[in-house]
Amino acid sequence: MSDFIEIKIIDAVKKLHRGRINEILKNWNFLIPLFEISEYIGTSSVIPVISLSSCEQTEKERIIQLDTYVMTITITLPESFDSELYCYGYAHAFEKALNEDVTLGGVADRAIISNKKYTPPKKPNCGMEWELIISLRITVEGMK
């Protein structure tokens, strides 16, 4: 495993998707595609795009030497009758799993959802995609 905190954070979020989030989705009374973290392409699972960047620190975070990151998780779904429901379900499952483990398995000091954005297709019924964007703010004790 790498010593870079950024890789540890991304790996922890991927593990959350493969583990607890998929577990939550399996326990619901309706069928919803599970998350797959690989190069797989198909309709039976969803592959989130995870990106991480550092962000501006508050004065308090600078003083107590906390590094801050913004993570964006983008989930795109082909337009279907249930796409909107799936977006809400994924957001809820992610929020529930994160609230159970705000430290991402001890990798971070705290991870919180700062924004959820649901984007329908620009033109309904034309085969475009739904998009769910979840933004996280992650703080980690500074490595300085």
Q: What is the pLDDT of residues 44-65, one digit of tens each?
A: 678 888 999 887 777 877 777 7
Whole-prediction pTM value?
0.85
**104: left (phi > 0), else alpha (psi -120 to 50), else beta?**
left
Instruction: Give residue-wise pLDDT tens across range 63-87.
Output: 777 888 999 999 998 888 888 999 9
- As a CATH number, domain 5-141 is 3.30.980
For the segment 17-32, the average pLDDT, to the nearest whole number, is 87
Across-strand partners of 74? Answer: 49, 133
For the segment 95-110, the average pLDDT, to the nearest whole number, is 94
Whether 43 contacts 79, CB under 8 Å: no
Q: Please report, for the chain, the start and end positions of each structural domain, with discontinuous segments joined by +.
A: 5-141
For the segment 27-51, the average pLDDT, to the nearest whole number, is 76
Cα–Cα distance list, 129 to 17, 55, 85, 86, 101 (Å): 21, 29, 13, 12, 30
Euclidean distance between CA atoms 131 and 74, whole angstroms: 7
Whether 77 contacts 83, CB under 8 Å: yes
